[in-house]
């Protein structure tokens, strides 16, 4: 079993940049939380896995809100599609959580792999996300962001 970091960015490659350091920092945090979750789940440390998964869900929701706000701020024409993808990812993560409750908080391997796959898809989908926006123009917007 390779680490989640290795599966997300094989060969130690860096995660692709979204075009803004705040969103890239989010991606690194999500990767760190997902790695911790995977390690706890594979170690059968269910209480720790539950706490980390809940923190991961919170971080994913905050990141999606921040990212959608940024896309709206730069009038990205693909905002609606990106929002739909976010809703799909959240629905799948919430399904994993609901199913784990039914399984008495066990994290089956397919659920752990699903989390890794969703994050990989999300992080790599965001490559160059804000390439059309000048980072210098977006930075003040992020500072002023209510998120």
CB 37 within 8 A of CB 52: yes
Angle at 97 between CA 95 and CA 100, to 5 degrees: 105
Token output for 79? 């905002």
Task: Check residue 50 and give its pLDDT.
Answer: 86
Report the predicted TM-score, pTM, of the whole model to 2 decimal places: 0.73
Q: Is residue 55 predicted with pLDDT exceeding 60?
A: yes
Q: Which of 132, 98, 126 is nearest to 8 (CA)?
A: 126
What residue segments make up the domains of the chain, in order of their start?
A: 16-134
Q: Which of 97, 92, 95 is nearest to 51 (CA)?
A: 97
In angstroms, the CA 130 to CA 38 distance is 30
Q: What superfamily would CATH give domain 16-134?
A: Hemerythrin-like (1.20.120.50)
| Max avg pLDDT among 12-16, 121-125, 131-135, 140-144 | 121-125
Bigger pLDDT: 126 or 22? 22
Task: Check residue 137 and give its pLDDT.
Answer: 52
Bigger pLDDT: 145 or 91? 91
């Amino acid at each position: 079993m390779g680490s989640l970091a290795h599966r997300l960015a094989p060969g130690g490659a860096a995660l692709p940049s979204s075009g803004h350091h705040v969103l890239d920092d989010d991606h690194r945090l999500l990767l760190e939380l997902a790695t911790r979750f995977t390690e706890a789940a594979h170690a059968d440390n269910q209480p720790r896995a539950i706490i980390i998964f809940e923190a991961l869900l919170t971080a994913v929701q905050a990141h999606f809100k921040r990212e959608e706000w940024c896309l709206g701020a730069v009038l990205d024409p693909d905002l609606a599609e990106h929002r739909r993808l976010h809703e799909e990812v959240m629905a799948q993560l919430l399904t994993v959580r609901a199913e784990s409750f039914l399984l008495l908080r066990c994290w089956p391997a397919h659920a752990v792999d699903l989390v890794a796959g969703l994050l990989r898809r999300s992080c790599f989908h965001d490559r160059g996300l804000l390439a059309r926006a000048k980072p210098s123009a977006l930075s003040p917007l992020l500072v002023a962001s209510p998120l």
